[in-house]
Amino acid sequence: MRGEQIEERSLTYAQALNEALREEMQRDARVILLGEDIGVWGGGGVFGVTKGLLEEFGAERVRDTPISEAGFTGAGLGAALAGLRPVVEFMYVDFSMLAMDQICNQAAKIRWMLGGDVSVPLVIRAQQGAGRGNGPQHSQSLEAWYAHTPGLKVVMPSTPYDAKGLLKTAIRDDNPVVFLEHKLLYGTRGPVPKEDYTIPFGQAAIVRQGRHVTCVALSYQVHKALEAADVLAEEGIELEIIDPRTLVPYDRETVARSIMKTGRLLVTHQAPERAGFAAEVVMCALEDAFDYFDAPPLRVCGKNVPIPYSLTLEAAAIPQTEDLVRAAKRLVEGVPLGGRRS
């Protein structure tokens, strides 16, 4: 799918998600959408992802909800248990805290509690992340919360291609899926095939090949890592960039193979460093490839502070391209590029 067909057209991240929703609703009449302002409001939600779907599928399948995250998430869960395949949208992931019981204490556990006799085909879509000056209550990255909850699958696409393919996989899954979209990605553009395709969960993407440093980047940080790789290449340092795409399930094998080649690991995400998913990446890598490390792994993550409203302070609180460049250089200082694994 990443060959000639993929170059036929280019879509934005938001358009790719919209197309995935439309195609899945056309394919399966059980797919319904629930969320605030996703239908009647002209743009199709705050970020336009559901634009045009109300007109095509009607108010029975594209349902604007009251401002009650606990209420409409519970309704989505009930619909999933009754045989539908709901896609519930949170306007901001921060608001998902109001439905943590429905998500983490109910949806994640019901199938296990009933011995697998029921399915919970519920997708929870939410945008997250900082970079727009939206302040501390509209800019968080909560992937570690959900990855820590057994029974949930957690998806974080970074490109339009991955957004469409992974959302289709999520909708067809019989388990609850938390689908997280960084708000700065909606306007990014990339190749997306016209043909139907899905992307398996638990299959990382090697975004850029390199010999000297493995960089595992989540969501929007993939783009920051690519910028850093261009800067580092001018100094002869090759960054190998891996996008996990899904955190649960997590593809630890691809990361381990990369470290066996590079001997170094750098992990980056916007969420706060403390107890962030980067720690899980590092621990898995140490368990899988300890003897191959030439330097201690490094994390380049958000500061352990609420996201500031000021754009200047916000930029200081989340990892930037230059932070990744400095970290990669630090990793190669101890062992020259001509060292035992170059």
C-beta neighbour count of 95 within 10 angstroms: 16
- Report the distance separating Cα 258 and Cα 174, nearest Å: 32
Fold of 4-191: Rossmann fold (3.40.50)
Q: Closest by alpha carbon to 242, among 192, 286, 203, 198? A: 203
Q: Of 36-45, 226-235, 259-268, which range is least confident?
A: 36-45
Q: Which of 36, 69, 89, 143 is catalytic?
A: 69
- 223 is an active site residue: no
Kindly indicate the confidence band of residue 259, based on its pLDDT and cuts at 50, 70 and 90: very high
Indicate if the pLDDT at residue 336 is higher than 70: no
Q: Would you list the DSSP string of 225-277?
A: HHHHHHHHHTTTPPEEEEE-SEEES--HHHHHHHHHHHS-EEEEEEEESTT-H
pLDDT tens-digit readout, 104-136: 999 999 999 999 999 999 999 999 999 999 999
pLDDT tens-digit readout, 46-96: 788 999 999 999 999 999 999 999 999 999 999 999 999 999 999 999 999
Instruction: Give the pLDDT score at 341.
Output: 47
88: β partners = 34, 124
CATH of 205-334, one of 3.40.1160.10, 1.10.10.10, 3.40.50.920, 3.40.50.620: 3.40.50.920
For the chain, give the number of residues: 342
Kindly indicate the confidence band of residue 342, based on its pLDDT and cuts at 50, 70 and 90: very low
Instruction: Give the pLDDT score at 48.
Output: 87
Kindly indicate the confidence band of residue 268, based on its pLDDT and cuts at 50, 70 and 90: very high
- Report the distance separating Cα 316 and Cα 303, nearest Å: 8
Q: Is the dihedral of CA 193, 196, 201, 202 positive or negative?
A: negative
Question: What token pair was written down for 318?
Answer: 């989340």
- Report the distance separating Cα 338 and Cα 342, nearest Å: 5
Q: Which of 89, 138, 182, 314 is catalytic?
A: 138
205-334 shares the fold of 4-191:
yes
- Report the distance separating Cα 96 and Cα 188, nearest Å: 25
The domains of the chain are located at: 4-191, 205-334
Which amino acid appears at position 48 of this protein? G
Question: What token pair was written down for 143?
Answer: 């992937």
- Report the distance separating Cα 119 and Cα 319, nearest Å: 39
Indicate if the pLDDT at residue 8 is higher than 80: no
Contact 164, 192 (CB under 8 A): yes
